[in-house]
């Protein structure tokens, strides 16, 4: 799931905001509920490449 690192300009609280494809909702500080939030890093996509299941499917099986 993609996440974005954020820092609230009002209280200085750092937090991670979950983002989804097509999500236009601006992050809100969970501590002070402020909307003046600085996005400190672009969304990190944790599952951009194929998962382990597709990698394991191509691995030959051991002796049976």
- Collapsed DSSP state (helix, strand, coil) of residue 53: helix
When pLDDT is cut at 50, 70 and 90, the band that residue 20 belongs to is confident
What does the block give as tokens for 4? 């974005």
Digit-coded pLDDT (tens) for 24-49: 778 899 999 999 999 876 655 555 55
When pLDDT is cut at 50, 70 and 90, the band that residue 59 belongs to is low
Cβ–Cβ < 8 Å for 45, 19: no
Is the pLDDT at 57 greater than 70, yes or no?
A: no
Is the pLDDT at 58 greater than 70, yes or no?
A: no
Give percent helix, percent strand, percent coil of the chain, each to the nearest 5. 10, 25, 65
Q: What is the pTM of this model?
A: 0.58
Instruction: Determine the CATH number of domain 3-47.
Output: 2.20.28
Q: Which residue has the tokens 């236009």?
A: 24
């Amino acid at each position: 799931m993609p996440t974005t690192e954020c820092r609230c300009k009002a209280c200085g609280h750092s937090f991670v905001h979950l983002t989804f494809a097509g999500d236009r909702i601006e992050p809100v500080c969970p501590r002070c509920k402020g909307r003046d939030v600085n996005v400190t890093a672009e969304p990190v996509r944790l599952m951009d490449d194929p998962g382990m299941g597709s990698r394991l499917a191509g691995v030959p099986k051991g002796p049976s």
